[in-house]
Amino acid sequence: MSLVTEPKQGGCALPEITRERGQRQVFCGLAGIVWLHRKIQDAFFLVVGSRTCAHLLQSAAGVMIFAEPRFATAILQERDLAGLADCNQELDRVVADVLERRPDIKTLFLVGSCPSEVIKLDLGKAAERLSERYSDRVQVIDYSASGLETTFTQGEDACLGALVPRLPALPSIERSLLVLGTLPDVVEDQFRRLFEALEIGPVHFLPPRQASELPPVGPGTSVLLAQPFLGETARALHKRGAALLSAPYPFGVEGTLAWLKAAAAAWGVTPERVDEVAAPAVARARRGLEHYRELLAGKRIHFLPDSQLEIPLARFLQRELGMELVEVASPFIDRQLMEPELALLPEGVRVTEGQDLETQLDRVRAARPDLTVCGLGLANPLEAEGLRTKWSIELVFSPVHGFDQAADLAELFARPLTRGALLQV
């Protein structure tokens, strides 16, 4: 294990970040397909991987055997892995079968996995070949969702990054707001109404609901991130001329207001106007949070590194619900994208980047927090030791952004504590 402590920058209130490296336990980027295939309604995700990849997707998505989801796995057999079969011929056959069965598909994602990368299968060339073959009906795009040295939310970053070169150019005399990150349709609609009331627009979302309707990008594009794990996509958009707006993320009342005000400032809309437009939603959100503050205030919470949502969620729980932060650990911390959130964390809180599993578990056992946020693989062992846990992956799957979801987000943290109290009765 190696430790590097990053000092505060002169006069800045940012917390120190301790970096840890060692044994890791995280999902791979294939998990991102679970929410991406629901959002992009004309797309199909074909994973080139193993039976383990197929089992992971089916388990994560909860898909029944007779369902017809818009994802599948082209399973590499032993002959493929041993180099005894032509993988490209097999892939072409599987793609032809998928497109015959699903004529509604307009975009086909070829998704790389650990097995396909190990045998050096070039999905980029395969995507070019298949795009040319099916140019009259479908676009074929490749990206890697391998679990090698990544965490599961980076699958979305890789997918959206693969779309950036295909985004149409925004005319130089025009401007637009691009909201970056997968949002449930109901949340997207809520944000769209708020932007319209503030006369901010036109507003586009990436990913869009239809991959055949990609948003434009250019020097007049302002990018507002809805998810904190999209650093590579954000930088790819910046290379195409877009400007990145710096803001906290829209979790809870405070984060959502600050997020809206960042967009408003770019459009010359005053903070007072944002407060006026958002007032009804803010009042509803604060009423909804009152009940959960009574349950959560004073409770101690420990975040283990998993989703990259840890820092903004910790800020929300500490500042709006009164929880005490024992440690906030995240697999990767992008300082450019996370600085507004880091500045809102309380002084003295331990912030950790990376994972050294046994060392971090030792700290959890020593601190015995009221709640530990962690990956699925760690939850049951910790529960067996009498520690209450929250699956971090559920926080990615659930509608949790914005004012109207603030109470729902708080409930996700209150639920395990309520359940634990009932079990002790």
pLDDT digits (tens, 9 = 90+) for 106-125: 999 999 888 777 778 889 99
Model confidence pLDDT, tens digit, residues 149-189: 678 899 999 999 999 999 999 998 999 999 999 999 999 99
3-state secondary structure 189-226: HHHHHHHHHCCCCCEEEECCCCCCCCCCECCCEEEEEC
Tell me if 53 is assigned to a ligand binding site: yes
Architecture of domain 29-150: 3-Layer(aba) Sandwich (3.40)
Measure the CA–CA gap between 180 and 334, rounded to whole angstroms: 16
pTM for this prediction: 0.91
pLDDT band at 86 (very low <50, low <70, confident <90, very high): low
| Domain map (residue ranges) of the chain | 29-150, 176-274, 285-424
Model confidence pLDDT, tens digit, residues 328-372: 999 999 999 999 999 999 999 999 999 899 999 999 999 999 999
Q: What are phi and psi of 12, to 5 degrees?
A: -90, 145
Q: 285-424: which CATH number, 3.40.50.1980, 3.30.950.10, 3.40.50.150, 3.30.930.10?
A: 3.40.50.1980
> Residue 351 in 3-state DSSP?
strand
Give the closest residue to 167 by CA, choosing from 220, 200, 206: 206
Tell me if 28 is assigned to a ligand binding site: yes
Report the pLDDT value the prediction gives residue 115, as an integer from 0 to 100: 76
Tell me if 87 is assigned to a ligand binding site: no
| Fold (topology level) of 176-274 | Rossmann fold (3.40.50)
**Highest mean pLDDT out of 34-43, 67-76, 189-198, 355-364:** 189-198
Q: Do domains 176-274 and 285-424 have the same CATH topology?
A: yes
